[in-house]
Amino acid sequence: MKKIIIILSFVVLFSDLSFVIAQDKVNQKSQCIKAMQSITATECLDHVKYLAGKECEGRGTCDEGFDKAASYVADHFRDIGLLPLMKDSSYYQVFNIDRNMILDGNEFSLELLLKSPSGKDTLEIKYQLEDDFLPAGVSSSCDIRINVVFAGYGISSKENNWDDYKKLDVKDKVVLILGGTPPVKDSDFGSLYRISRKAEMAKNAGASALLVVGKPIGTISTYQSIPVVTISKKVADDLLKGTAENIEGLKHKMKQKQRSNSFNLKHNIHLKVNSELITDCQTMNILGYIEGSDVVLKNEFIVVGAHVDHLGAINDHVFYGANDNASGSAVVMEVSEAFSLMKEAPKRSVLFIAFTGEEMGLLGSSYFVENSVIPVNRIKAMINLDMVGSGDDAIMVVGGNSFPEFAELFDTLTSQYVHVPVKRRWASSNSDHYPFHKAGIPAVFLYALRGVPTYHTSKDRPETLDPEVMENVGRLVFMTAMKLANKESISFRYIEKGK
Ligand SMILES: [Zn+2]
């Protein structure tokens, strides 16, 4: 009898306990959903309005506007109770960089030679900043009236049997080139399409300045090359006046003949660029974390990050960077707040980072990985957000093909909570997840597909965004990061493209 009583009470106790555990799970789940629902379109948009508003002046790395954005994020981290990761109990990981500043006073005009009874007359056509031309981030200063020579794609590449500078004298001239790479069959020009690489080739050929045909969009750089300006196709066609050529025709010819084309142009240009290289200016990543609740697993981290820097301003054109990447920063802030609302933290620690210097070449994320305050091998997964403010077609997971189990988490959780299609791409080096990926950490980068086409222009403003997209991305990232932080073990398979 006694035995039966003991067994009976054990059964009662045990079922009680399993009831409590089950109840706990239900509570935790409903708490989780409640926290997820705290991420709203309105709150995301409020953050974007500040970060991409007048106050932050385009958040150019080392500009006052960036520092204001950084303290806005740090204040938020402090207010919601995130812990500082730095040894000095600061939310800032400070370091120095060089930055080439494009200052005010940039001008570009064409001096069109006209035939007139009196001989030669010139008509000056002045061009508009951004619509017609824009100095590149690497540009040095100049104030020149000068001859122009057309030099194909501005590429010298032995491997691809292509040399736009062969037998061409560009000394003390401005070189006009096409953007992109030559249409050579079975060629691989690697990174030679980059303006920075083309600037070096023009410099080596002895050119005074470089004009690149393409959409004039903003860039920002750590160093100075020769004066470099992007010009629209319309302006390039103006420059070709009197030669019987136009840009489309030249492209077509080079494709047909599979060889370069170069010649002198008839008219002079006036180009004025005003820039200054600032060395050793101070900038910072902003870091805050939630400590895990499991005695062992709290030593491991899940990182959720986004770059908060953008391009600053040129003349009175501010590159507000609402979609790129006030949107991602806003989502990181909202996701961190949702975590802070949980009564019990997840097992692992979750670290939130707003990176600096992304637009200058992933400077902040690289610095973080190379100078991490925590051993990098304790970071078990990383989610990066870049341009998540517009485009409700689908959410792209860059690196999803490379880490299929990681991508499956997004698939499962979107079907449960967000109901936005999730697509996958192979890993790439185009945003702040990359330094983590290189360090062997499963890292993915999320962006919203088919957003507004305002990339790196002054039109990238808060009013062009669809804040619902940020809400969806935020909720999905919160649930995924939560799942990762509570997972017993994380060992994602890595598949290399083509293998
Ligand atoms: Zn970006």
CA distance 197 to 155: 9
- Asked whether residue 299 is assigned to any structural domain, the reply reads yes
Report helix, strand or coil for 202.
helix
| Helices 64-79 + 327-340 axis angle, to 10 | 20
Question: Is 14 domain-assigned?
Answer: no
The CATH number of the domain holding residue 53 is 3.40.630.10
Q: What is the pLDDT of residue 202?
A: 96
Distance CA 385, CA 362 (A): 13
| Cβ neighbours for 252, distance < 8 A, ≥ 6 positions apart | none
Please tell me whether residue 42 adopts helix, strand or coil conformation.
helix
Is residue 38 within 8 Å of 338, Cβ to Cβ? yes
Who has greater pLDDT, 295 or 27?
Answer: 295
- Domain contains 201: yes
Confidence of residue 29 (pLDDT cuts 50, 70, 90): confident
Q: Output the CA 65–ligand 1 centroid distance in Å.
A: 17
- Condensed to tens digits (0 to 9), the pLDDT of residues 130-162 reads 999 999 999 999 999 999 999 999 999 999 999
Over range 459-465, report the average pLDDT. Answer: 97
Give the tens place of pLDDT for each residue, 30-69: 899 999 999 999 999 999 999 999 999 999 999 999 999 9
Integer Cα distance of 34 and 466 in angstroms: 23
pLDDT of the residue at 185:
85
Asked if the structure places residue 181 within a domain, the reply is yes
The verdict on 124 and 65 lying in the same domain is no
Give me ligand 1 centre to Cα 455, in Å: 9
Give the range of the structural domain holding residue 368, as residue numbers without chain letter. Answer: 37-98+279-486
State the average pLDDT for the chain.
93
Select from 409, 350, 384, 390 the least CA-distant residue to 472. 390
Q: Are residues 222 and 362 in the same domain?
A: no
* Residues 285 and 264 placed together within one structural domain of the fold: no
Per the domain annotation, does 312 fall within a domain? yes
Query: What confidence tier does 393 reach under pLDDT thresholds 50, 70, 90?
Result: confident
Neighbours of ion ligand 1 (CB under 5 A): 324-325, 386
Helix spans in 101-208 (H): 195-204
To the nearest 10 degrees (0 to 180), the angle between helices 404-413 and 467-486 is 120
Rg (CA), the chain: 27
Domain-embedded: residue 167: yes
pLDDT at 256 > cutoff 70: yes
Q: Which of 222, 239, 273 is the last residue of a domain?
A: 273
209 has a pLDDT exceeding 90: yes
Q: Do 141 and 260 sit in the same domain of this protein?
A: yes
Structural domains of the chain, count = 2
Q: Tell me what the mean pLDDT of segment 226-247 comes to.
A: 95
Q: State yes or no: pLDDT of 14 exceeds 70.
A: no
User: How many angstroms does the Cα of residue 256 sit away from the middle of ligand 1?
Assistant: 37
> Is the confidence at residue 9, as pLDDT, over 80?
no
Please check whether residue 351 lies inside any domain of the structure: yes
C-alpha closest to that of 348 among 482, 231, 495, 164:
482
Residue 290 lies in a domain: yes
Residue range 316-343, pLDDT digits in tens:
899 999 999 999 999 999 999 999 999 9
Ligand 1: centre distance to CA 188 (Å):
26
Q: What share of the chain is helix, strand, coil (3-state, %, to 5)?
A: 35, 25, 40
Taking 70 as the threshold, does the pLDDT of residue 166 lie above it? yes
**Helix spans in 180-309 (H):** 195-204, 233-239, 247-257
Q: Which amino acid, one-letter code, is at 290? A: I
* C-alpha 325 – ligand 1 centre gap (Å): 5
| 165 and 298 housed in the same domain | no
Chain segment 85-121, per-residue pLDDT in tens: 998 999 999 999 999 999 999 999 999 888 777 767 8
* 224 shares its domain with 337: no
Determine contact, residues 368/320, Cβ cutoff 8 Å: no
**Neighbouring C-beta atoms of residue 397, cutoff 10 Å:** 25
Rounded to the nearest angstrom, the distance between the alpha carbon of 459 and the centre of ligand 1 is 15
Query: Residues 346, 247: one domain?
Result: no
Structure tokens at 142: 């100049």
The domain that holds 189 is classified in CATH as: 3.50.30.30
Q: Return the amino acid letter for 1.
A: M
Same domain, 158 and 238: yes
Claim to verify: residue 304 and residue 441 sit in the same structural domain: yes
Same domain, 424 and 471: yes
Distance 465 CA to ligand 1 centre (A): 15
pLDDT band at residue 416, thresholds of 50, 70 and 90?
A: very high
Distance of CA 321 from the midpoint of ligand 1 (Å): 8
Q: Could you tell me the pLDDT band of residue 76, with boundaries at 50, 70 and 90?
A: very high
Distance 389 CA to ligand 1 centre (A): 11
Beta pairing class for 174-178 and 422-425: unpaired
Q: Clarify whether residues 219 and 340 are in a common domain.
A: no
Query: Residue 314: which H helix or E strand, with range?
Result: strand 313-314
Supply the pTM of this predicted model: 0.91
Q: How far is the CA of 386 from the centre of ligand 1 (A)?
A: 5
Q: Among residues 222, 242, 273, which one ends one of the domains?
A: 273
pLDDT given for residue 10 in this prediction = 52
Q: Does the pLDDT of residue 5 top 60, yes or no?
A: no
Last residue within a domain, chosen from 238, 253, 273: 273
Q: How far is CA 469 from CA 223, 396, 421, 432, in A?
A: 36, 12, 12, 20
**pLDDT at residue number 392:** 77
Over range 382-389, report the average pLDDT.
Answer: 97
Q: Which residues of 356-390 are buried (b: 16+ CB within 10 A; e: fewer)?
A: bbbbbebbbbbbbbeebebeeeebbbbbbbbbbbb
Domain co-membership, 251 together with 164? yes
